[in-house]
Amino acid sequence: MKTIRVAAAVICDSLISRKRIFATARGYGNYRGQWEFPGGKIEEGETPQQALAREIREELDTVITVGERIGRVEYDYPEFHLSMDCFWCGIKEGHLTLLEAEDARWLEKSTLDSVPWLPADAMLIETIRRGMS
């Protein structure tokens, strides 16, 4: 099975207090309409942090600060194995403009379960909840 390495951004309203996080609804493919943390594939020669900064510029027209790593998820989708590094991130410059996703929301600790997460992203929700204020 093919392995795809990706990096995902848990963009917070503040890297210090983390009261709200930004999530997007996938706008294409088999999993369209399901929710995820924005990010994308790690290209040859990139670190996960570099890939994340590039992907967020491309997908959301925003410059981010990549903070500490939350964790790594290994998940088998029917078509591929996903290896996803997930990081706390903050907005450095820009306004989170949706260029690929079909919807987005700021979620609080109490509303994390209000969207249908993609399976790999869902595996991180409890860890993220514990890291929020």
Assign 119 to helix, strand or coil: helix
* Boundaries of domain holding 7: 3-131
Q: What is the pLDDT of residues 27-53, one digit of tens each?
A: 888 899 999 999 999 999 999 999 999
Q: What is the pLDDT of residues 46-85, one digit of tens each?
A: 999 999 999 999 999 999 999 999 999 999 999 999 999 9
Nearest Cα to Cα of residue 11 among 77, 46, 62: 62
Residue 95, phi then psi, degrees to nearest 5: -135, 25
CATH for 81: 3.90.79.10
As for how many domains the chain has, the answer is: 1
Are 39 and 116 spatial neighbours (Cβ–Cβ below 8 Å)?
no
Q: Taking all residues of the chain, what is their mean pLDDT, rounded to a whole number?
A: 97
- Here the tokens at position 70 are 């939350």
